[in-house]
Every structure is written in C-alpha cells, then in structure tokens.
Amino acid sequence: MKQVIVGMSTCGLSAGSQKTYDRLAELLAANPGAFELKSSGCIGMCYREPLVEVRENGSRVIYGAVTPELADAIISEHIKGGRALEEHVALRICEGAEIAGAEAPAQRGQVRIVLRNCGLIDPESIEEYEAAGGYRALRKALFEMTPDGIVKEIKDSGLRGRGGAGFPTGLKWSFAASQPAGVKYVVCNADEGDPGAFMDRSVLEGDPHSVIEGMIVCGRAIGASFGYIYCRAEYPMAIKRLTIALDAAREKGYLGTNILGSGFDFDVKIKQGAGAFVCGEETALFQSIEGKRGMPRIRPPFPAEKGLWAKPTNNNNVETYANVPWILVNGAAAYAKYGTEKSRGTKVFALAGKVRNGGLAEVPMGIPIDDLVFKIGGGIKEDRAFKAVQMGGPSGGCIPASLGTTSVDFESIPATGAIMGSGGMVVMDDQTCMVEMARFFLDFTQNESCGKCTFCRIGTLRMLEILTRITQGEGRPEDVPNLLELGAQIKESSLCGLGQTAPNPVLTTIRYFADEYEAHIRDKRCPAGSCLALVDFIIDPEKCTGCTVCAKHCPVNAISGERKKVHVIDTSICAKCGKCITSCAFGAIYKK
C-alpha cells in the first residue's frame, strides 16, 4: 500500500502542516484503504515545508510547500492516477539511483548519520525505530562488548563532542569510567540556547530513541545507572516525543532494571530548563538539575570526578549521543572515514539568516564554508552579495566571505577567531551591519550573564554601552581600543565559557570589518544602511511617479508632493519606519 507521510516537526507545523495533514485525513476517510497516512520528523528542508512524501516499493517522492489544495491533487493524480506532480517534486529518492528533484543539488554531498532517521520514521513509534536498526547498538554493548571495549570503540571513531568544545568523546567517557564504582550519572545537554540553532530540537523531535540509546550505551560504558535529559521548556514537542519514547523504551525493556536480562540497570528522566543560556554550561546545568540557581562552578574538580550531586558525571549534547548507536553498529572505522584527521565524522548545521535554503544539513567535517552556503544553502537570497557567517552562536564569531574556503573543523574555525559551537550558522549579506550584529549578540550574552563574574557581568555591559553608542551615531575615537581591551580582559578573567567567549562577535567584527567601525565612528555613516540613526530615507526623482502611495502610508506625514510629480521626504520628522520603501512599487525610495 502506498504511504503518505507528512513532516510534523515544529518547522512543518509552523508552515501549516497540520492543515495539510488534516486534509489528507479527510481524503483518506473518503477513500478508505487508498493509502496509509503517517507522520515523521524534519528531513532538514525546513525552507520547503510543509513536506509530504509518497512512498511505494522503495521509491520516495517528496513534495514541497504542500497546501491542503495541493494535497487534493497529490491524492487524485499521484495516489489514484499513478502520476507524480513533477512541478511540485522537491526530491525523488530511489534505491540504486541518484537522488533527483528540484532540491537534489542541496542534498548531494550530505551524509546522514545523526539525521539518519529524521524524516524517515515516525518518531513516536518505537517499532519503526527498531525496524530501522534501533537498539541493535544497545544489544551489542550489553552482550558483545565490555565497558572498556565500548570506550575504546568511541575513542577509535574520533568522535568529538558536538556541543561546541570538541573534546574527544571517548576520552571524556574514560575519565568517568575510571572513577570508583558507585553512583554515577549520564547527562544529555539539550538546552540549545544559541540564536539561530535548532539542530538538537530537530533530532529530539525526529528521532528521540537515537539519543536515548546513546545515553544507555554511555551508562553501560562508564558504570552509571541513571541519566537526565536537560531540555528547555520552550521545546514542547521535543519534550512530548521524548516522554513517549522513554515510556515505550521502558515497556520494551530497554530502560529500567535488568535491561534485556543483562543485569544492567539504567533509567532516564527529563528535566525541563527555564531557558537560561548559561545553563548550556555543564556545571550551571548541574546546578539547575539539583534545583539551584544555574550558575557555573569553579573547576577543578571536573564533572567526571564530581559532577551532578558531587558524583562522577558524563555530559554530552544531543548530537553527540545520537552518533553513538551508529558507531557501535557500523564500527569506528566506518565513522572515521568521514571528516579530517583531527575532526572525524559528520556535523549537523542549522543554516539561517540570508541563505536561500534555511534548514538542517549534515555534512562531513572539513567541508568549506562556501560549499555550505552556496552548494547546500543555495546561495544568498535575492542574489545579494555574501558578506559573512556567524558561527558558534553568541559565543562565536563572524567569519568574512573572504575566508569562505576555510575548512569547517575544530582546528580551522578557531583560527579565524570564531568557534565551531554546536552548529548554528547565521548567513549575512551586504545589507547586514557588522557593528549592529556585534551589538545584537553582545546584548544577548549580557542579558544571559548569570552575574557571578564581575568581568562578565559588568564588562559585557560596558561593551554593550559602547556598541550601542556607535550604532546611534555617537561613537568616539577611543571606542575601538576600549572594546579590544575590555574583550581581552573578559576572555581572560571570566569563570565559564559564556563569559570567556562573549567578546568573540565584537573582536572578530573589529578584526575583519574595521572599516565599518571607522565609518560609524568617524563618518557617522552605516555602510550597510542598517543603523537607522545613521541613514536618511531618500526619494529618487528619476524613479518617482508621483503616485502618492508612499505619502499615504507614512505615519508621520513626512512625505509631501503633488500627484504625478516628484515627492520629497522631510528627514527632520521622518520616523525611519520603512513603510515608504515597502509600499513603493517602483523602487524609488532608498536609504542613504
């Protein structure tokens, strides 16, 4: 029987997939037995949601931007008539054949290890996870491998932590495993607080069992019997599907006491976070789980020795654990063949900003930035010029387009002044002001500072004040030297990674876009036309037709002129709201 599968993750639902699903359900009720209706997670093509897949005899045809009306056509033409609606096909996947369809160029070159089941299985069905090879790794870990053997396999794979620091995962597990037997914990950091990042959310919504299985294997390797998934409460669907998955895993005997008759006990609990960015730092996360205010602890002792409730603890993020089952089933060598010598495997990136194909991409480590932006991301919207990418979230840095050949790995990216981070990549075009971008990210980190460190609490505030003045046209010659000095002091003196990396957006934009700072401070001009205090709205007399539409939309009556004659804007009262630009059909109004 043909299957019709609707992408029902957050990205799909926000694009209207619930209405599409409901319409398909109505069509199924009117045509009993014509097809099987199912749901899945996000396949990564968020920019083409709602996505609907028709699956039959190993062939997969994925339609993009499926409205309820298009759903009608898919059922009548494809399901009943056997003819695909080619003009709406995003991807065509056939075993043994090259991937085809309008979105095929963006999908070629991707390697799906973490995302292997996302968009392929029903995330609320443990049976579908098992059918896709789920929990084979757990059986192998319980009955075919020793704890030391598991740790060695992860070490040999070259897997490094995907939460941002890139610490070797197997080595980290060995630290906790070497602690004396007793109470130990496995923690999954699913807090994901970076603006523009949604990798972990999509994995939890699309394949929660892979993360749970990875945690159980870790528990077996280090001798832990309990785990926590720390997930922010703003991810209700992820929490819902995790809850369903945990209940199903307990019912099947994969969680609880004497798992699969092995004598090994392990269970997992979800802890909902309140959305504090600082709780992405592992010791602050432990504080939050313990019911305390989320503030970093001094290290040493390190978590492997004294972590959650002062017991040996291993903490990795969602993506790291999701790699583990694949590695155990396919072997360390199969994983290590991807990536670079020191950065093995694949990495999931969330492409956001001014890129055409916003969504998820999983690629081998070492891919150039340009390939991510242009080959997979589809290039810049409206064919504008590529200016920079922000990597590593608010703790990361801005990498200019001139460094687009830089390899995306744990060695090359830090050399630019940015960090790999968890995988968020915000793409910027020539209309992005880099000074304002630095101010935006510093405003975020300053608000999210827990306040424990003076340099982080006060230093970021002073930097934010300087950046705000610059974007408002009140910059001073000493501002850039002061920003550099403050940034160095904050990096050197802060307790945790949030404070230590908070100046990165400022330091990298000064490093690569010093001319924009100079234009703001010396010339009182924003080259990107983004900082409203430094631009005026102008009507081009060559393009103005005197249609009066802009004047009618101006909320402060700053535009005057007779009908069919050139209009003018009184810059002294202009509110710079931009309504005139959006209302003009002739492109006659611009910022200068």
State the Cα–Cα distance between residues 282 and 286, nearest whole angstrom: 6
The shares of helix, strand and coil residues in the chain, as percent rounded to the nearest 5, are 45, 15, 40
Residue 76: which residues within 8 A CB-CB, separation 6 or more?
none
Task: Give the residue from 97, 48, 52 showing the smallest Cα distance to 74.
Answer: 52
Q: Decide the pairing of beta strands 185-190 and 226-232.
A: parallel
Predicted pLDDT of residue 420: 86
List pLDDT tens digits, range 157-190: 999 999 878 899 999 999 999 999 999 999 999 9
Asked if 583 contacts 553 with a C-beta cutoff of 8 angstroms, the reply is: yes
- Residue 6 CB coordination number (10 Å): 25
Predicted pLDDT of residue 113: 97
Predicted pLDDT of residue 58: 86
State the Cα–Cα distance between residues 75 and 4, nearest whole angstrom: 9
Predicted pLDDT of residue 66: 97
Angle of CA points 365, 371, 374, to nearest 5°: 145
> In the chain, which residues have pLDDT < 70?
none
Predicted pLDDT of residue 514: 96
Burial class (CB in 10 A: 0-12, 13-18, 19+), 111: middle
State the Cα–Cα distance between residues 550 and 552, nearest whole angstrom: 5
State the Cα–Cα distance between residues 53 and 373, nearest whole angstrom: 26
Q: pTM of the prediction?
A: 0.93
Asked if 377 contacts 351 with a C-beta cutoff of 8 angstroms, the reply is: yes
Residue 234: which residues within 8 A CB-CB, separation 6 or more?
275
Asked if 308 contacts 186 with a C-beta cutoff of 8 angstroms, the reply is: no
State the Cα–Cα distance between residues 414 and 160, nearest whole angstrom: 15
State the Cα–Cα distance between residues 78 and 70, nearest whole angstrom: 11
Mean per-residue pLDDT of the chain? 94
For residue 298, give Cα distances in angstroms to 45, 295, 301, 458, 465: 41, 10, 8, 19, 29
Asked if 122 contacts 128 with a C-beta cutoff of 8 angstroms, the reply is: yes
Residues in the chain: 592
- Give the 3-state secondary structure of residue 410: coil
State the Cα–Cα distance between residues 441 and 426, nearest whole angstrom: 12
Residue 534: which residues within 8 A CB-CB, separation 6 or more?
471, 473, 520, 524, 525, 526
User: Which secondary structure element, helix H or strand E, spans residue 454, and what is its range?
Assistant: helix 454-454
Asked if 46 contacts 357 with a C-beta cutoff of 8 angstroms, the reply is: no
Tokens describing residue 58:
């190993």
State the Cα–Cα distance between residues 142 and 559, nearest whole angstrom: 75
Asked if 267 contacts 256 with a C-beta cutoff of 8 angstroms, the reply is: yes
Residue 385 is given by DSSP the state: P
Q: For the residues of 197-265, what is the DSSP string, one character each?
A: --HHHHHHHH-HHHHHHHHHHHHHHHT--EEEEEEETT-HHHHHHHHHHHHHHHHHTSSBSSGGGSS--
Q: Which residue matches tokens 């793409």?
A: 427
Tokens describing residue 130:
């098992």
Burial class (CB in 10 A: 0-12, 13-18, 19+), 357: buried
Predicted pLDDT of residue 498: 83
Domains and CATH numbers, the chain: 3-103 (3.40.30.10), 126-335 (3.40.50.11540), 346-429 (3.10.20.600), 434-522 (1.20.1440.230), 536-591 (3.30.70.20)
Residue 302 is given by DSSP the state: P
Tokens describing residue 520:
């703001």
Predicted pLDDT of residue 455: 87
Q: How many helices (H) and strands (E) does the chain have?
A: 25, 18
Asked if 44 contacts 11 with a C-beta cutoff of 8 angstroms, the reply is: no
Q: For the residues of 328-341, what is the DSSP string, one character each?
A: HHH-HHHHHTSB-S
List pLDDT tens digits, range 216-235: 999 999 999 999 999 999 99
